[in-house]
């Protein structure tokens, strides 16, 4: 989707992936190699104007290797901050952005101390390589500690206070090379089995306070990191008060609906930002809902028979729990958008 936006601006793309059989292969040259293959990374970077990433688990060492030849945007320090949940929590705390209480856990004894400080319920998370709820264990009582430790105890951890949120939101901001910043209105996200299933934009019932708090959160992070590109921040809404959950230094799944639901998509704005071009309007057009296609492919003609449905298939083979594409529906009212979304959900596969 980034490459599609780039192509509209007559910008050619080259991709680095672990195999040549990736969706990007239809959009440009693929250099395949591992992220610790310095020679291959150098071949990839040779002659490029800028390198970006859309996966936050790119090792910092790989990004630094590429930086020897070509600018990497968003800056590597953003990758570094987002790759470690503890560094991320400390980063947001330093910005004065509210978040759930947390404590580092590096040993079984430290887990007892952290539980004593934070209380139940709490969630124990791996500091690195966690996504979509993987590498997490919920602690409700003392008896849960041993099993949780056995499940995730092999790596550095973080204990977080459990947040009884009303809903999950994301806010997507973009910062240009000249420091200009634009934010999309907050998006409401619903997960099933830890995987994003439905996003709605603008999030229903947005107040001026929520809009301002979300914009403040992403703007502070963009500025502090001297960021260039799209940054997504995931938030918990607790009775109108926002707590930051985590950030993703990349285009975000919840922002896929900006392709049809905003004046300028997150993908085009990311490309514009990293190329030093003026940013586009992040305003929305009416209401948009996005449904992820997970696990199974739906009958294409049934999806396309839904009025206003935009189908995006990624060319991936079906596998339980795998995101294979998404459908966005746009409407003038929230009620219409939700009605159309219901029709999409009924046929767009079920999360594993
Ligand atoms: P994460 O990988 O940290 O984004 O967590 C995945 C999902 O787990 C989130 O989208 C939330 O639904 C849930 N979650 C994570 N942390 C917490 C928390 N501290 N309190 C409540 N739910 C959480």
What's the CA-to-centroid distance between 308 and ligand 1, angstroms?
32
Based on the number of CB atoms within 10 Å of its own CB, is 103 exposed (0-12), middle (13-18) or buried (19 or more)? buried
263 and 318 fall within a common domain = yes
> Is the residue at 350 inside a domain?
no
Instruction: Note the pLDDT of residue 133.
Output: 59
Q: Is 237 touching ligand 1 by the criterion CB < 6 Å? A: no
Structure tokens belonging to residue 38: 């310095």
221 and 326 fall within a common domain = yes
27 and 74 fall within a common domain = yes
Question: 308-330: per-residue pLDDT in tens?
Answer: 899 999 999 999 999 999 999 99
Specify whether the CB–CB gap between 97 and 220 falls below 8 A: yes
17 in helix, strand or coil? strand
Question: 101-120: per-residue pLDDT in tens?
Answer: 999 999 999 999 999 999 99
Specify whether the CB–CB gap between 286 and 330 falls below 8 A: yes
231 and 278 fall within a common domain = yes
Determine phi and psi for 19, rounding to 5 degrees: -150, 160
- What is the C-alpha to C-alpha distance for residues 219 and 213, in angstroms, rounded to an integer? 10
Q: Higher model confidence: residue 83 or residue 171?
A: 171
Q: Is 133 touching ligand 1 by the criterion CB < 6 Å? A: yes
Domain that holds residue 143: 101-161
Beta bridge partners of 189: 168, 199
Determine phi and psi for 110, rounding to 5 degrees: -65, -30
Instruction: Note the pLDDT of residue 56.
Output: 86
- What is the C-alpha to C-alpha distance for residues 80 and 157, in angstroms, rounded to an integer? 16
156 and 37 fall within a common domain = no
Which element (helix H / strand E) includes 313? strand 309-313
For the chain, the average pLDDT equals: 95
> Is the residue at 219 inside a domain?
yes
244 in helix, strand or coil? strand
> Is the residue at 226 inside a domain?
yes
β-pair type (13-17, 28-32) = parallel
> Is the residue at 326 inside a domain?
yes
Specify whether the CB–CB gap between 56 and 249 falls below 8 A: yes
What's the CA-to-centroid distance between 116 and ligand 1, angstroms?
21
200 and 306 fall within a common domain = yes
Across 88-98, average pLDDT: 96
Q: Which atom of ligand 1 is nearest to the CA of 133?
A: 6
Question: 9-51: per-residue pLDDT in tens?
Answer: 999 999 999 999 898 899 999 999 999 999 999 999 999 999 9
Q: Is 191 touching ligand 1 by the criterion CB < 6 Å? A: yes
Q: Residue 74 is part of a domain; what is its CATH number?
A: 3.40.50.20
314 and 275 fall within a common domain = yes
What's the CA-to-centroid distance between 234 and ligand 1, angstroms?
9
Q: Is 233 touching ligand 1 by the criterion CB < 6 Å? A: no
What's the CA-to-centroid distance between 219 and ligand 1, angstroms?
22
> Is the residue at 94 inside a domain?
no
Count of alpha carbons within 13 angstroms of residue 5, beta-carbon side: 20
DSSP 95-157: TT--B--EEEE-SHHHHHHHHHHH-SSEEEEESSS--TTTTEEEE-SGGGHHHHHHHHTTS-E
What's the CA-to-centroid distance between 319 and ligand 1, angstroms?
24
Q: Higher model confidence: residue 270 or residue 57?
A: 270
256 and 198 fall within a common domain = yes
Specify whether the CB–CB gap between 254 and 170 falls below 8 A: yes
71 and 118 fall within a common domain = no
237 and 315 fall within a common domain = yes
Between the alpha carbon of residue 6 and those of residues 16, 31, 272, the distances in Å are: 16, 18, 8
> Is the residue at 87 inside a domain?
no
325 and 267 fall within a common domain = yes
> Is the residue at 352 inside a domain?
no
What's the CA-to-centroid distance between 202 and ligand 1, angstroms?
21
Q: Residue 129 is part of a domain; what is its CATH number?
A: 3.30.1490.20
Last residue of a domain, one of 130, 161, 192: 161
Q: Residue 327 is part of a domain; what is its CATH number?
A: 3.30.470.20
Q: Is 130 touching ligand 1 by the criterion CB < 6 Å? A: yes
> Is the residue at 229 inside a domain?
yes
Specify whether the CB–CB gap between 187 and 210 falls below 8 A: no
Place of tokens 């602690």: 139
Across 96-104, average pLDDT: 96
Residue 234 has pLDDT above 70, yes or no: yes
Last residue of a domain, one of 26, 50, 82: 82
Enumerate residues 6+ apart whose C-beta is below 8 A from 143: none
What's the CA-to-centroid distance between 7 and ligand 1, angstroms?
35
- What is the C-alpha to C-alpha distance for residues 7 and 11, in angstroms, rounded to an integer? 5
Instruction: Note the pLDDT of residue 348.
Output: 87
Q: Is 162 touching ligand 1 by the criterion CB < 6 Å? A: yes
Alpha helices (H) in the chain, listed in sequence order = 2-8, 38-45, 60-67, 76-83, 85-94, 108-118, 145-152, 208-224, 258-261, 266-274, 300-304, 334-347
- The closest residue, in CA terms, to atom 13 on ligand 1 is 133
Beta bridge partners of 287: 331
In the chain, how many domains are there?
A: 3
105 and 220 fall within a common domain = no
Last residue of a domain, one of 142, 161, 180: 161
| Most ligand 1 atoms within 8 A of CB, residue of 119, 123, 191 to mutate | 123
Q: Is 245 touching ligand 1 by the criterion CB < 6 Å? A: yes
């Amino acid at each position: 989707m980034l490459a599609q936006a780039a192509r509209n601006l007559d910008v050619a793309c080259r991709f680095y992936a672990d195999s040549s059989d990736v969706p990007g292969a239809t959009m440009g040259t693929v250099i395949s190699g591992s992220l610790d293959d310095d020679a291959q990374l150098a071949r990839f970077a040779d002659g490029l104007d800028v390198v970006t990433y859309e996966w936050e688990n790119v090792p910092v060492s790989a990004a630094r290797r590429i930086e020897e030849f070509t600018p990497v945007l968003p800056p590597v320090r953003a990758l570094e901050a987002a790759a470690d949940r503890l560094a991320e929590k400390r980063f947001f705390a330093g910005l004065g952005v509210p978040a759930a209480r947390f404590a580092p856990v590096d040993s079984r004894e430290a887990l007892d101390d952290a539980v004593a400080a934070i209380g139940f319920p709490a969630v124990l998370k791996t500091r690195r390589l966690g996504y979509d709820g993987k590498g997490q264990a919920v602690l409700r009582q003392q008896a849960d500690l041993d099993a949780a430790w056995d499940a995730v105890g092999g790596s550095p951890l973080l204990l977080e206070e459990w947040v009884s949120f009303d809903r999950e939101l994301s806010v997507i901001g973009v910062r240009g090379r000249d420091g200009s910043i634009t934010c999309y209105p907050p998006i409401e996200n619903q997960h099933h089995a830890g995987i994003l299933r439905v996003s709605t934009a603008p999030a229903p019932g947005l107040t001026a306070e929520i809009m301002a708090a979300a914009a403040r959160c992403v703007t502070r992070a963009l500025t502090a990191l001297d960021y260039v590109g799209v940054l997504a921040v995931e938030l918990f809404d607790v009775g109108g008060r926002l707590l930051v959950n985590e950030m993703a230094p990349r285009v975000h799944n919840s922002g896929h609906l900006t392709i049809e639901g905003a004046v300028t998509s997150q993908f085009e704005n990311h490309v514009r930002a990293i190329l030093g071009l003026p940013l586009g309007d992040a305003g929305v057009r009416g209401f948009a809902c996005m449904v992820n296609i997970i696990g199974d492919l739906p009958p294409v003609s049934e999806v396309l028979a839904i009025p206003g449905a935009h189908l995006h298939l990624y060319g991936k083979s079906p596998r339980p729990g795998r995101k294979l594409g998404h459908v966005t529906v746009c409407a003038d009212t929230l009620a219409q958008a939700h009605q159309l979304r219901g029709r999409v959900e009924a046929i767009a596969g079920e999360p594993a």
